[in-house]
Amino acid sequence: MTSQPELTPAQRTEVELLARGRQDKSRTMRDLGQPETPQAAHALLLRLNLWDDTRVPFPERLGVDLATPTLPVPALPHEDRLDLTHLTALAIDDEGNRDPDDALSLETLPDGTRRLWVHVADVAALVTPGSDLDLEARRRGSTLYLPTHTIGMMPDALVEQVGLGLHAESPALSIAIDFDPDGQAESVDVHLTRLHVTRVTYAQAQAQLDAGDELLQGLHTLAGASRTLREAEGAMSIDLPEVQVKVSEQGDIRIAPLEKSESRFIVQECMTLAGWAAAIFADDLELALPFATQDPPHRSSPPGDSMPAQWARRKTLSRTRFQPALGPHSGMGLDAYAQATSPMRRYLDLVVHQQLRAAVLERDALNGKDIAARVAESQMASATVRSAEREARRHWTLVAMTRDPERVYRAVVVERRQAQATLLLPELALDVTLTTPAPLGTELRVQLAGVDLAAQSVRVREAHT
Protein backbone atom coordinates (compact mmCIF):
# COMPACT_ATOMS: atom_id res chain seq x y z
CA MET A 1 0.00 0.00 0.00
CA THR A 2 1.48 3.34 -1.07
CA SER A 3 2.01 5.73 1.81
CA GLN A 4 0.51 9.16 1.47
CA PRO A 5 2.74 12.23 1.69
CA GLU A 6 2.49 14.63 4.59
CA LEU A 7 2.22 18.28 3.70
CA THR A 8 3.65 21.13 5.70
CA PRO A 9 1.24 24.02 6.43
CA ALA A 10 2.86 26.05 3.66
CA GLN A 11 2.55 23.17 1.18
CA ARG A 12 -1.08 22.60 2.14
CA THR A 13 -1.86 26.28 1.55
CA GLU A 14 -0.18 26.13 -1.84
CA VAL A 15 -2.13 23.03 -2.89
CA GLU A 16 -5.39 24.52 -1.63
CA LEU A 17 -4.82 27.67 -3.65
CA LEU A 18 -4.41 25.53 -6.76
CA ALA A 19 -7.53 23.50 -5.92
CA ARG A 20 -9.53 26.70 -5.45
CA GLY A 21 -8.32 28.13 -8.74
CA ARG A 22 -6.48 30.96 -7.01
CA GLN A 23 -3.16 30.08 -8.63
CA ASP A 24 -2.21 27.94 -11.61
CA LYS A 25 1.14 26.49 -10.46
CA SER A 26 2.22 24.36 -7.51
CA ARG A 27 5.79 23.28 -6.80
CA THR A 28 4.45 20.81 -4.24
CA MET A 29 2.29 19.04 -6.82
CA ARG A 30 5.20 19.05 -9.26
CA ASP A 31 7.56 17.55 -6.66
CA LEU A 32 4.98 14.83 -5.92
CA GLY A 33 4.76 13.97 -9.61
CA GLN A 34 1.15 15.16 -9.76
CA PRO A 35 -0.48 17.28 -12.49
CA GLU A 36 -0.62 20.96 -11.62
CA THR A 37 -4.37 21.16 -12.07
CA PRO A 38 -7.18 22.16 -9.70
CA GLN A 39 -8.76 18.72 -10.10
CA ALA A 40 -5.54 16.88 -9.14
CA ALA A 41 -5.02 19.21 -6.16
CA HIS A 42 -8.59 18.63 -5.03
CA ALA A 43 -8.14 14.87 -5.30
CA LEU A 44 -4.90 14.99 -3.25
CA LEU A 45 -6.54 17.02 -0.49
CA LEU A 46 -9.36 14.48 -0.30
CA ARG A 47 -6.95 11.54 -0.18
CA LEU A 48 -5.01 13.16 2.67
CA ASN A 49 -8.25 13.92 4.54
CA LEU A 50 -7.31 17.59 4.54
CA TRP A 51 -10.61 18.31 2.80
CA ASP A 52 -13.86 16.43 3.22
CA ASP A 53 -16.93 16.12 1.02
CA THR A 54 -18.32 19.44 2.27
CA ARG A 55 -15.64 21.44 0.47
CA VAL A 56 -17.03 22.71 -2.84
CA PRO A 57 -14.33 24.63 -4.75
CA PHE A 58 -16.09 24.87 -8.11
CA PRO A 59 -17.82 28.29 -7.78
CA GLU A 60 -14.64 29.95 -6.51
CA ARG A 61 -12.59 28.17 -9.17
CA LEU A 62 -14.87 29.58 -11.85
CA GLY A 63 -14.31 33.08 -10.50
CA VAL A 64 -17.86 33.94 -9.42
CA ASP A 65 -18.22 36.55 -6.70
CA LEU A 66 -19.15 34.78 -3.45
CA ALA A 67 -19.56 37.98 -1.45
CA THR A 68 -22.99 39.46 -0.83
CA PRO A 69 -23.38 42.86 -2.56
CA THR A 70 -23.46 45.71 -0.04
CA LEU A 71 -23.55 48.89 -2.12
CA PRO A 72 -25.72 51.70 -0.72
CA VAL A 73 -29.27 51.82 -2.06
CA PRO A 74 -31.07 55.13 -2.73
CA ALA A 75 -34.58 55.90 -1.55
CA LEU A 76 -37.47 55.44 -3.95
CA PRO A 77 -38.08 58.55 -6.04
CA HIS A 78 -41.41 60.36 -5.71
CA GLU A 79 -43.30 59.47 -8.88
CA ASP A 80 -46.91 59.36 -10.01
CA ARG A 81 -48.12 55.76 -9.90
CA LEU A 82 -51.35 54.19 -11.06
CA ASP A 83 -53.27 53.08 -7.97
CA LEU A 84 -54.09 49.38 -8.30
CA THR A 85 -54.54 48.73 -4.59
CA HIS A 86 -58.16 47.70 -5.27
CA LEU A 87 -56.96 44.60 -7.14
CA THR A 88 -55.99 41.32 -5.55
CA ALA A 89 -52.32 40.77 -6.44
CA LEU A 90 -50.85 37.34 -5.70
CA ALA A 91 -47.08 36.80 -5.49
CA ILE A 92 -46.73 33.02 -5.86
CA ASP A 93 -43.30 31.59 -5.01
CA ASP A 94 -41.48 28.61 -3.61
CA GLU A 95 -41.61 28.30 0.15
CA GLY A 96 -38.79 30.29 1.75
CA ASN A 97 -38.37 32.65 -1.20
CA ARG A 98 -36.69 35.84 -0.02
CA ASP A 99 -36.86 38.06 -3.11
CA PRO A 100 -40.47 38.19 -4.34
CA ASP A 101 -40.38 40.04 -7.64
CA ASP A 102 -43.60 39.24 -9.49
CA ALA A 103 -47.33 39.06 -8.80
CA LEU A 104 -50.52 38.45 -10.78
CA SER A 105 -53.90 40.16 -10.98
CA LEU A 106 -56.89 39.61 -13.25
CA GLU A 107 -59.76 42.01 -13.75
CA THR A 108 -62.79 42.27 -15.99
CA LEU A 109 -63.29 45.67 -17.58
CA PRO A 110 -66.76 47.26 -18.00
CA ASP A 111 -66.94 46.08 -21.64
CA GLY A 112 -66.22 42.49 -20.58
CA THR A 113 -62.56 42.49 -21.64
CA ARG A 114 -60.30 40.42 -19.41
CA ARG A 115 -57.10 42.19 -18.37
CA LEU A 116 -54.14 40.28 -17.02
CA TRP A 117 -51.76 42.29 -14.88
CA VAL A 118 -48.24 41.00 -14.37
CA HIS A 119 -46.70 43.15 -11.67
CA VAL A 120 -42.92 43.17 -11.33
CA ALA A 121 -40.85 44.74 -8.56
CA ASP A 122 -39.77 48.19 -9.74
CA VAL A 123 -36.04 47.57 -9.33
CA ALA A 124 -35.15 50.04 -12.08
CA ALA A 125 -36.60 52.85 -9.96
CA LEU A 126 -33.51 52.40 -7.78
CA VAL A 127 -30.99 51.09 -10.32
CA THR A 128 -30.48 53.55 -13.15
CA PRO A 129 -28.29 52.82 -16.19
CA GLY A 130 -24.61 53.38 -15.46
CA SER A 131 -25.06 53.70 -11.68
CA ASP A 132 -22.84 51.80 -9.26
CA LEU A 133 -25.68 49.34 -8.59
CA ASP A 134 -26.17 48.83 -12.32
CA LEU A 135 -22.47 48.18 -12.93
CA GLU A 136 -22.32 45.73 -10.00
CA ALA A 137 -25.36 43.82 -11.26
CA ARG A 138 -23.90 43.73 -14.78
CA ARG A 139 -20.63 42.34 -13.42
CA ARG A 140 -22.45 39.57 -11.57
CA GLY A 141 -24.92 38.80 -14.36
CA SER A 142 -27.47 37.12 -12.12
CA THR A 143 -28.20 35.85 -8.65
CA LEU A 144 -26.17 32.77 -7.63
CA TYR A 145 -28.27 29.90 -6.26
CA LEU A 146 -26.16 27.31 -4.45
CA PRO A 147 -27.54 24.33 -2.49
CA THR A 148 -26.09 25.82 0.69
CA HIS A 149 -27.12 29.46 0.25
CA THR A 150 -28.04 32.21 -2.19
CA ILE A 151 -25.92 35.22 -3.17
CA GLY A 152 -28.07 37.96 -4.62
CA MET A 153 -27.34 40.06 -7.65
CA MET A 154 -28.80 42.97 -5.69
CA PRO A 155 -28.14 44.12 -2.11
CA ASP A 156 -30.59 42.89 0.52
CA ALA A 157 -31.47 46.53 1.25
CA LEU A 158 -32.84 46.91 -2.28
CA VAL A 159 -34.94 43.75 -1.99
CA GLU A 160 -36.31 45.06 1.29
CA GLN A 161 -37.45 48.29 -0.39
CA VAL A 162 -39.13 46.96 -3.53
CA GLY A 163 -39.81 43.24 -2.92
CA LEU A 164 -43.50 42.65 -3.60
CA GLY A 165 -45.54 42.05 -0.48
CA LEU A 166 -42.77 42.93 1.97
CA HIS A 167 -44.62 46.11 2.96
CA ALA A 168 -48.26 47.15 3.13
CA GLU A 169 -47.87 48.84 -0.25
CA SER A 170 -45.46 47.85 -3.01
CA PRO A 171 -44.16 49.84 -6.00
CA ALA A 172 -44.25 47.92 -9.27
CA LEU A 173 -43.80 48.14 -13.00
CA SER A 174 -46.98 46.47 -14.22
CA ILE A 175 -47.60 44.97 -17.65
CA ALA A 176 -51.25 44.90 -18.76
CA ILE A 177 -52.52 42.51 -21.43
CA ASP A 178 -56.13 42.63 -22.67
CA PHE A 179 -57.68 39.44 -24.09
CA ASP A 180 -60.65 38.76 -26.34
CA PRO A 181 -63.13 35.95 -25.47
CA ASP A 182 -61.02 33.41 -27.41
CA GLY A 183 -57.91 34.13 -25.34
CA GLN A 184 -56.17 36.17 -28.05
CA ALA A 185 -54.21 39.17 -26.79
CA GLU A 186 -55.65 42.41 -28.17
CA SER A 187 -53.48 45.12 -26.62
CA VAL A 188 -50.62 45.64 -24.18
CA ASP A 189 -49.54 48.52 -21.96
CA VAL A 190 -47.02 49.29 -19.21
CA HIS A 191 -47.58 51.39 -16.08
CA LEU A 192 -45.78 52.39 -12.91
CA THR A 193 -48.14 51.23 -10.15
CA ARG A 194 -48.65 50.73 -6.45
CA LEU A 195 -50.25 47.59 -5.04
CA HIS A 196 -51.33 45.59 -2.08
CA VAL A 197 -49.60 42.23 -2.61
CA THR A 198 -50.44 38.92 -0.92
CA ARG A 199 -47.65 36.37 -0.82
CA VAL A 200 -48.52 32.65 -1.12
CA THR A 201 -46.55 29.49 -1.84
CA TYR A 202 -47.20 27.27 -4.83
CA ALA A 203 -48.77 24.71 -2.51
CA GLN A 204 -51.10 27.30 -0.99
CA ALA A 205 -52.06 28.62 -4.43
CA GLN A 206 -52.75 25.06 -5.60
CA ALA A 207 -55.02 24.44 -2.62
CA GLN A 208 -56.91 27.67 -3.38
CA LEU A 209 -57.20 26.70 -7.05
CA ASP A 210 -58.53 23.25 -6.12
CA ALA A 211 -61.07 24.93 -3.81
CA GLY A 212 -62.40 26.99 -6.72
CA ASP A 213 -60.76 30.36 -6.03
CA GLU A 214 -62.16 32.71 -8.68
CA LEU A 215 -58.92 34.59 -9.38
CA LEU A 216 -56.81 31.46 -9.74
CA GLN A 217 -59.47 29.70 -11.82
CA GLY A 218 -59.52 32.67 -14.16
CA LEU A 219 -55.74 32.74 -14.39
CA HIS A 220 -55.68 29.00 -15.06
CA THR A 221 -58.18 29.32 -17.92
CA LEU A 222 -56.21 32.19 -19.45
CA ALA A 223 -52.91 30.34 -19.08
CA GLY A 224 -54.34 27.24 -20.72
CA ALA A 225 -55.62 29.21 -23.69
CA SER A 226 -52.23 30.91 -24.04
CA ARG A 227 -50.37 27.60 -24.01
CA THR A 228 -52.73 26.16 -26.64
CA LEU A 229 -52.15 29.14 -28.93
CA ARG A 230 -48.37 28.93 -28.51
CA GLU A 231 -48.34 25.21 -29.22
CA ALA A 232 -50.27 25.88 -32.42
CA GLU A 233 -47.36 28.17 -33.38
CA GLY A 234 -44.80 25.45 -32.75
CA ALA A 235 -43.96 25.96 -29.06
CA MET A 236 -42.01 23.00 -27.74
CA SER A 237 -42.40 21.66 -24.21
CA ILE A 238 -39.66 19.57 -22.61
CA ASP A 239 -40.88 17.52 -19.66
CA LEU A 240 -37.85 16.00 -17.94
CA PRO A 241 -37.38 15.46 -14.20
CA GLU A 242 -36.14 18.46 -12.22
CA VAL A 243 -35.06 18.51 -8.60
CA GLN A 244 -34.14 21.03 -5.97
CA VAL A 245 -30.94 20.31 -4.02
CA LYS A 246 -30.74 21.91 -0.58
CA VAL A 247 -28.07 21.53 2.11
CA SER A 248 -28.87 22.54 5.69
CA GLU A 249 -26.46 24.28 8.06
CA GLN A 250 -25.96 20.87 9.70
CA GLY A 251 -24.87 19.38 6.36
CA ASP A 252 -28.03 17.37 5.69
CA ILE A 253 -28.76 17.02 1.96
CA ARG A 254 -32.33 17.14 0.67
CA ILE A 255 -33.03 16.34 -2.98
CA ALA A 256 -36.69 16.87 -3.79
CA PRO A 257 -38.54 16.78 -7.11
CA LEU A 258 -39.72 20.10 -8.50
CA GLU A 259 -43.46 19.63 -8.57
CA LYS A 260 -45.14 20.38 -11.89
CA SER A 261 -48.35 21.72 -10.35
CA GLU A 262 -51.10 23.73 -12.03
CA SER A 263 -50.21 26.72 -9.85
CA ARG A 264 -46.64 26.61 -11.16
CA PHE A 265 -47.99 26.32 -14.71
CA ILE A 266 -50.10 29.46 -14.18
CA VAL A 267 -47.10 31.49 -13.07
CA GLN A 268 -44.83 30.21 -15.85
CA GLU A 269 -47.37 30.93 -18.58
CA CYS A 270 -48.24 34.39 -17.24
CA MET A 271 -44.54 35.29 -17.04
CA THR A 272 -44.17 34.15 -20.65
CA LEU A 273 -47.09 36.38 -21.64
CA ALA A 274 -45.48 39.31 -19.83
CA GLY A 275 -42.24 38.77 -21.76
CA TRP A 276 -44.13 38.74 -25.04
CA ALA A 277 -46.07 41.88 -24.08
CA ALA A 278 -42.90 43.74 -23.06
CA ALA A 279 -41.34 42.93 -26.44
CA ILE A 280 -44.43 44.02 -28.38
CA PHE A 281 -44.72 47.25 -26.36
CA ALA A 282 -41.06 48.06 -27.04
CA ASP A 283 -41.29 47.23 -30.72
CA ASP A 284 -44.30 49.51 -31.17
CA LEU A 285 -42.23 52.37 -29.71
CA GLU A 286 -39.05 51.37 -31.62
CA LEU A 287 -37.40 50.87 -28.23
CA ALA A 288 -34.25 48.75 -28.12
CA LEU A 289 -34.35 45.79 -25.70
CA PRO A 290 -32.26 42.67 -25.15
CA PHE A 291 -34.83 40.64 -27.12
CA ALA A 292 -34.60 36.87 -26.56
CA THR A 293 -34.65 34.94 -29.84
CA GLN A 294 -34.27 31.31 -30.80
CA ASP A 295 -33.85 29.66 -34.20
CA PRO A 296 -36.05 26.68 -35.16
CA PRO A 297 -34.77 23.22 -34.16
CA HIS A 298 -31.73 22.20 -36.19
CA ARG A 299 -33.19 18.76 -36.81
CA SER A 300 -36.61 17.14 -36.64
CA SER A 301 -38.03 16.52 -33.22
CA PRO A 302 -38.73 12.89 -32.24
CA PRO A 303 -42.41 12.05 -31.71
CA GLY A 304 -43.99 10.97 -28.45
CA ASP A 305 -43.75 11.98 -24.81
CA SER A 306 -41.51 9.19 -23.52
CA MET A 307 -38.42 10.11 -21.52
CA PRO A 308 -36.05 9.17 -24.42
CA ALA A 309 -38.15 11.34 -26.79
CA GLN A 310 -38.03 14.28 -24.36
CA TRP A 311 -34.27 13.81 -23.94
CA ALA A 312 -33.71 13.77 -27.71
CA ARG A 313 -36.09 16.71 -28.24
CA ARG A 314 -34.10 18.89 -25.86
CA LYS A 315 -31.00 18.29 -27.97
CA THR A 316 -32.71 19.67 -31.08
CA LEU A 317 -33.16 23.12 -29.54
CA SER A 318 -30.91 25.99 -30.52
CA ARG A 319 -29.42 28.27 -27.89
CA THR A 320 -31.43 31.36 -26.96
CA ARG A 321 -29.72 34.54 -28.17
CA PHE A 322 -30.15 38.06 -26.82
CA GLN A 323 -29.96 40.87 -29.35
CA PRO A 324 -31.14 44.48 -29.76
CA ALA A 325 -33.29 43.58 -32.78
CA LEU A 326 -36.68 41.89 -32.52
CA GLY A 327 -36.86 38.27 -33.65
CA PRO A 328 -38.99 35.16 -33.10
CA HIS A 329 -38.45 32.68 -30.29
CA SER A 330 -39.11 29.31 -31.89
CA GLY A 331 -39.11 27.19 -28.73
CA MET A 332 -41.80 29.39 -27.17
CA GLY A 333 -43.87 29.72 -30.32
CA LEU A 334 -43.71 33.52 -30.07
CA ASP A 335 -43.00 36.19 -32.67
CA ALA A 336 -41.37 38.37 -29.98
CA TYR A 337 -40.07 37.84 -26.48
CA ALA A 338 -37.98 39.55 -23.79
CA GLN A 339 -37.28 38.27 -20.30
CA ALA A 340 -38.95 40.87 -18.13
CA THR A 341 -40.08 39.39 -14.81
CA SER A 342 -36.91 38.91 -12.72
CA PRO A 343 -35.05 42.24 -12.54
CA MET A 344 -33.78 41.42 -9.04
CA ARG A 345 -32.21 38.20 -10.23
CA ARG A 346 -31.20 38.62 -13.89
CA TYR A 347 -29.35 41.62 -15.23
CA LEU A 348 -30.91 41.60 -18.70
CA ASP A 349 -34.39 41.66 -17.13
CA LEU A 350 -33.24 44.79 -15.30
CA VAL A 351 -32.15 46.35 -18.61
CA VAL A 352 -35.61 45.62 -20.01
CA HIS A 353 -37.13 47.46 -17.04
CA GLN A 354 -34.79 50.41 -17.42
CA GLN A 355 -35.89 50.75 -21.03
CA LEU A 356 -39.59 50.34 -20.25
CA ARG A 357 -39.37 52.95 -17.50
CA ALA A 358 -37.67 55.36 -19.88
CA ALA A 359 -40.54 54.91 -22.34
CA VAL A 360 -43.27 55.30 -19.71
CA LEU A 361 -41.63 58.44 -18.28
CA GLU A 362 -40.75 59.76 -21.75
CA ARG A 363 -37.05 59.91 -20.97
CA ASP A 364 -34.01 59.10 -23.11
CA ALA A 365 -33.44 55.38 -23.49
CA LEU A 366 -30.40 53.29 -24.34
CA ASN A 367 -29.72 52.63 -28.02
CA GLY A 368 -29.09 49.32 -29.73
CA LYS A 369 -25.33 49.61 -29.40
CA ASP A 370 -25.68 50.18 -25.63
CA ILE A 371 -27.93 47.13 -25.35
CA ALA A 372 -25.53 44.92 -27.33
CA ALA A 373 -22.63 45.88 -25.05
CA ARG A 374 -24.67 45.04 -21.94
CA VAL A 375 -25.73 41.71 -23.43
CA ALA A 376 -22.14 40.72 -24.17
CA GLU A 377 -20.83 41.62 -20.72
CA SER A 378 -23.66 40.24 -18.62
CA GLN A 379 -24.04 37.03 -20.64
CA MET A 380 -20.45 36.05 -19.94
CA ALA A 381 -21.03 36.61 -16.21
CA SER A 382 -24.37 34.82 -16.05
CA ALA A 383 -23.00 31.83 -18.00
CA THR A 384 -20.29 31.47 -15.36
CA VAL A 385 -22.92 31.67 -12.62
CA ARG A 386 -24.99 28.93 -14.28
CA SER A 387 -21.88 26.72 -14.51
CA ALA A 388 -21.13 27.29 -10.83
CA GLU A 389 -24.70 26.37 -9.88
CA ARG A 390 -24.64 23.27 -12.04
CA GLU A 391 -21.31 22.02 -10.65
CA ALA A 392 -22.33 22.72 -7.03
CA ARG A 393 -25.61 20.84 -7.48
CA ARG A 394 -23.78 17.89 -9.04
CA HIS A 395 -21.23 17.86 -6.21
CA TRP A 396 -23.88 17.65 -3.51
CA THR A 397 -25.86 15.07 -5.50
CA LEU A 398 -22.78 12.83 -5.68
CA VAL A 399 -22.13 13.38 -1.97
CA ALA A 400 -25.70 12.30 -1.23
CA MET A 401 -25.10 9.11 -3.22
CA THR A 402 -21.89 8.32 -1.33
CA ARG A 403 -23.68 8.77 2.00
CA ASP A 404 -26.25 6.13 1.05
CA PRO A 405 -24.16 3.70 -1.03
CA GLU A 406 -26.62 0.78 -0.91
CA ARG A 407 -29.56 2.74 -2.22
CA VAL A 408 -31.17 1.42 -5.38
CA TYR A 409 -32.24 3.96 -8.01
CA ARG A 410 -34.71 3.71 -10.85
CA ALA A 411 -32.95 4.52 -14.15
CA VAL A 412 -34.29 4.95 -17.68
CA VAL A 413 -32.25 4.41 -20.84
CA VAL A 414 -32.63 7.73 -22.72
CA GLU A 415 -29.82 7.48 -25.29
CA ARG A 416 -27.61 4.81 -26.83
CA ARG A 417 -24.18 5.01 -28.46
CA GLN A 418 -23.04 1.56 -29.52
CA ALA A 419 -22.45 -0.48 -26.33
CA GLN A 420 -22.90 2.46 -23.98
CA ALA A 421 -26.21 3.82 -22.79
CA THR A 422 -27.05 7.10 -21.11
CA LEU A 423 -29.31 6.53 -18.13
CA LEU A 424 -31.42 9.16 -16.43
CA LEU A 425 -32.07 8.77 -12.70
CA PRO A 426 -35.35 10.71 -12.31
CA GLU A 427 -35.25 11.07 -8.52
CA LEU A 428 -31.87 12.80 -8.78
CA ALA A 429 -32.30 14.37 -12.25
CA LEU A 430 -28.84 12.91 -12.87
CA ASP A 431 -27.59 11.27 -16.06
CA VAL A 432 -24.93 8.56 -15.98
CA THR A 433 -23.45 6.12 -18.49
CA LEU A 434 -23.49 2.33 -18.33
CA THR A 435 -22.44 -0.46 -20.67
CA THR A 436 -25.67 -2.38 -21.24
CA PRO A 437 -27.58 -3.85 -24.20
CA ALA A 438 -30.88 -2.46 -22.79
CA PRO A 439 -32.86 -0.65 -25.51
CA LEU A 440 -34.20 2.92 -25.31
CA GLY A 441 -36.93 3.38 -22.70
CA THR A 442 -35.88 0.37 -20.64
CA GLU A 443 -36.17 0.85 -16.89
CA LEU A 444 -33.26 -0.50 -14.87
CA ARG A 445 -32.41 -0.60 -11.20
CA VAL A 446 -28.91 0.64 -10.45
CA GLN A 447 -26.64 1.21 -7.48
CA LEU A 448 -23.58 3.32 -6.88
CA ALA A 449 -20.32 1.72 -8.03
CA GLY A 450 -17.98 4.64 -7.39
CA VAL A 451 -17.65 8.42 -7.17
CA ASP A 452 -14.73 10.77 -7.83
CA LEU A 453 -15.72 14.07 -6.25
CA ALA A 454 -12.71 15.92 -7.64
CA ALA A 455 -13.55 14.84 -11.21
CA GLN A 456 -17.31 15.03 -10.52
CA SER A 457 -17.71 11.61 -12.08
CA VAL A 458 -19.93 8.74 -10.99
CA ARG A 459 -20.16 5.06 -11.92
CA VAL A 460 -23.20 2.86 -11.41
CA ARG A 461 -23.89 -0.85 -11.74
CA GLU A 462 -27.09 -2.79 -12.21
CA ALA A 463 -28.70 -3.87 -8.96
CA HIS A 464 -29.73 -7.50 -8.84
CA THR A 465 -31.65 -7.43 -5.58
Q: What would the pLDDT profile of 321-356 be if each residue is shown by its tens digit?
A: 999 999 999 999 999 999 999 999 999 999 999 999
How many degrees, rounded to 5, is the angle at CA 146 between CA 142 and CA 149? 100
Q: How far apart are CA 446 and CA 412, in angstroms?
A: 10
Neighbours of 148 (CB within 10 A): 14
Class level of CATH domain 9-51: mainly alpha
The pLDDT value recorded for residue 450 is: 97
- Give pTM, 2 decimals: 0.95
Residues of the chain with pLDDT under 50: 1
**pLDDT tens by residue, 173-223:** 999 999 988 778 999 999 999 999 999 999 999 999 999 999 999 999 999
What DSSP letter does each residue of 143-206 carry, written as one string? -EE-SS-EE-SS-HHHHHHH-TTSSSSEEEEEEEEEE-TTS-EEEEEEEEEEE-EEEEEHHHHH
Domains 9-51 and 404-462 share a fold: no
The pLDDT value recorded for residue 465 is: 62
Q: Is residue 425 within a helix (H) or strand (E), and if so which, with residue range?
A: strand 420-425
The pLDDT value recorded for residue 2 is: 61
The pLDDT value recorded for residue 108 is: 93
Q: How do the domains of the chain map onto residue ranges? A: 9-51, 82-396, 404-462
Backbone φ, ψ for residue 201 (5° rounding) = -85, 165
Fold classification of 404-462 is OB fold (Dihydrolipoamide Acetyltransferase, E2P) (2.40.50)
